[in-house]
Amino acid sequence: MSQQTTEHLSTPRHVDVIIVGAGLSGVAAGYYLQAKCPGKSYMILEGREALGGTWDLFRYPGIRSDSDMYTLGYSFRPWLDAKAIADGASILEYVRATAQEFGIDRKIQFQHRVLAAAWSSVDSTWTLDVEQGAQREPMRFTCNFLFTCSGYYDYAGGYKPDFPSIEKFAGQVIHPQKWPADFDCTGKRVVVIGSGATAVTLVPALAARASHVTMLQRSPSYIVSLPSKDAFADRVRASLPPKLAHGLVRWRNVLLGLFFYTQMRRRPVQAKARIIGMIRKQLGPDYDVATHFTPNYNPWDQRLCLVPDADLFRALRAGNAEVVTDLIECFTETGIRLRSGREIDADIVVTATGLQLQLLGGMQISVDGKPVDFGKTTAYRGLMYSDVPNLATAFGYTNASWTLKCELSCAYVCRLLNYMDNRGYAACTPRKQGALGEHPLLDFNSGYVQRSISLFPRQGNKRPWRVYQNYVVDRMNFQMSRINDGSMEFTKREGLRKRG
């Protein structure tokens, strides 16, 4: 081990708060710390070479938001682009410009991958083991509070089912999470395996150049078409200052989204009929909507797929694309053989088969030398963990824009830090009291959730242990509820404890 490396490990750099991840959430966390905790020092550790998170990682054709940018964008920096449903490149530029405008980019340490974090109750400090750069040089950092903003899926790779005989296929196989920079499908036959948001995004984008695109699905998803431009937002922005207009449109979209979500959950039969009816209107009376666009579950048992300006349906009507609902028997040299006996010829197969969930970016967490099994913890306010001190995670909503919940989480962490400073506390630890009930953190039956949900914390059946998929309720809870709510144990450096 070199002398420089030894120095990195023996004299770790210390800041008050370390943020892990420089994506949409990490930039928000940096903004709120600067705005609400100006006396706190912080840094952002990012494992990749660039900021942007999801929007820098995914480069497949047509990538776009599946939420409107007035809610996916930050409340503190208005979205000024004409499109409400924006493409990935525009979102990435927006995140980068936000980081630059507020000086957050100067706080980022790139190519710093956090492997492990160990809490010491004696010192009230986290010690982080980090690999730096392509050479994976070991480094060590310490902080008083750890805020993870790395999302909940594995950046190293997506989910790949074990398709029979896939090695026989002579064409190209691509996963959307590893999209090749030199990709060209001009004049080629493409099969996209999947029925989720990635698949419905890819199909119309590929159909513009490929000779033909087939979306091959085991079962359908709910798909809803919305305009890519928001006419109401355009009218408001034409007459009001940008920040005021952004806030007004944001709240309007929040409340509309919450209303429609609530109505769908309360009246699933009617909601299903309405969604399927809209698809029939798009594709015409002769299209087999019952087979290809009628899911066997209720709306919002899985996340709805959004297609802007009906682009998927336009591609299907034009004949450039088709949907096939069947099971894969095996791959052949020239394509895929289905259980029905049909064979689909292909030059390129895209496995849009979903994500691999991963908590805290895969880092190993320990408290006073004992590894933490997060599957046995309970989520506190949806952002901290029972019996784990001074650690918070930014999670978004499953039924609305990620950023809505992320910003609430960031603001709450700042409230918590200021509360502790004002009272001389060094540590805060959520502690369960009595029976809370146990329910999955994510109440979704999607495959990517069910494959890994056991690794995630549980949630309780009452505040502050219940996770609400409701921005209005969360906003009141996060901003108005007491910090000393009886479930948080506060500790001073000398070891004196106070509950609440």
- Cα distances from 137 to residues 103, 165, 345, in angstroms, run 27, 40, 47
> Phi and psi for 306 in degrees, rounded to 5?
-110, 130
On the question of pLDDT at 33 being above 60, the answer is: yes
Average pLDDT, stretch 368-381? 94
Q: What is the rounded CA–CA span in Å between residue 483 and residue 415?
A: 8
How far apart are the C-alpha atoms of 310 and 318, rounded to whole Å? 12
- Is the Cβ–Cβ distance between 300 and 263 less than 8 Å? no
Confidence of residue 82 (pLDDT cuts 50, 70, 90): confident
The pLDDT score that the predictor gives to residue 490 is 96
Residues forming a β-bridge with 213: 190, 321
pTM: 0.92
Rounded Cα distance, 279 and 132, in Å:
50
Does the pLDDT value for residue 386 go beyond 80? yes
pLDDT above 90 (res 342): yes
pLDDT at residue 72 in the model: 95
Encode pLDDT of 89-108 as tens digits: 999 999 999 999 999 999 99
% the chain with pLDDT above 70: 94
Per-residue pLDDT, 495? 47
Residue 15's H or E segment, with its range, is strand 13-20
The three-state secondary structure class of 64 is: strand
| pLDDT of 452 above 90 | no
For residue 186, give both structure tokens: 């001009």
The pLDDT of 43-68, averaged and rounded, is 94
Cα–Cα distance measured from residue 104 to residue 29, given in angstroms and rounded to the nearest whole number: 9
The position carrying tokens 């070891």 is: 495
**Could you tell me the two tokens for 53?**
């998170």
Residue 87, pLDDT score: 94
For position 7, what pLDDT does the model report? 45
Q: Does residue 4 surpass a pLDDT of 80?
A: no
Task: Tell me: pLDDT of 8 over 80.
Answer: no
Gap between the Cα atoms of 359 and 155, Å rounded? 11
- Comparing C-alpha atoms, which of 176, 187, 191 is closest to residue 348? 191
180-200 confidence digits (pLDDT tens):
999 999 999 999 999 999 999
Model confidence band, residue 448 (pLDDT cutoffs 50, 70, 90): low
Q: Is 155 exposed, middle or buried (0-12, 13-18, 19+ CB in 10 A)?
A: buried
Low-confidence winner among 169-173, 229-233, 443-447 (lowest mean pLDDT) = 443-447
Cα 393 versus chain centre, distance: 12
The total of other beta-carbon atoms located within 10 Å of residue 423's CB is 12
Query: Sorting pLDDT into bands at 50, 70 and 90, what band is 494?
Result: low
Q: DSSP secondary-structure letter at 468?
A: P
pLDDT computed for residue 357 by the predictor: 83
Across 266-285, average pLDDT: 95
Q: How far apart are CA 224 and CA 300, in angstroms?
A: 12
Would you say 441 and 371 are in contact if contact means Cβ atoms under 8 Å apart? no
Is the pLDDT reported for residue 9 higher than 60? no
- Letter for the amino acid at 25? S
Radius of gyration of the chain measured on its C-alpha atoms: 24
Residue 6 above 50 pLDDT?
no
Helices (H) and strands (E) in the chain, counts: 14, 26
Residue % of the chain over a pLDDT of 90: 81
Cross-strand partners of 227: none
- d(CA 327, CA 163) in angstroms, rounded, equals 11
In terms of pLDDT, which residue wins out, 62 or 498? 62
Q: What is the pLDDT of residue 11?
A: 66
Q: Which residues contact 388 (CB under 8 A, 6 or more apart)?
A: 119, 365, 367, 372, 377, 429, 430
How far is the C-alpha of 42 from the C-alpha of 266, rounded, in Å?
A: 44
Task: Note whether 8 and 140 are within 8 A (CB).
Answer: yes
Q: Which of 216, 213, 166 is nearest to 185 (CA)?
A: 213
Domains, the chain = 3-156+356-499 (3.50.50.60), 166-233+268-351 (3.50.50.60)
Average predicted confidence (pLDDT) for the chain: 91
364's enclosing H/E stretch is strand 364-367
> What pLDDT, on the 0 to 100 scale, is given for residue 270?
96
CA dihedral angle for residue 29, residue 32, residue 37, residue 39, rounded to 10 degrees: 70
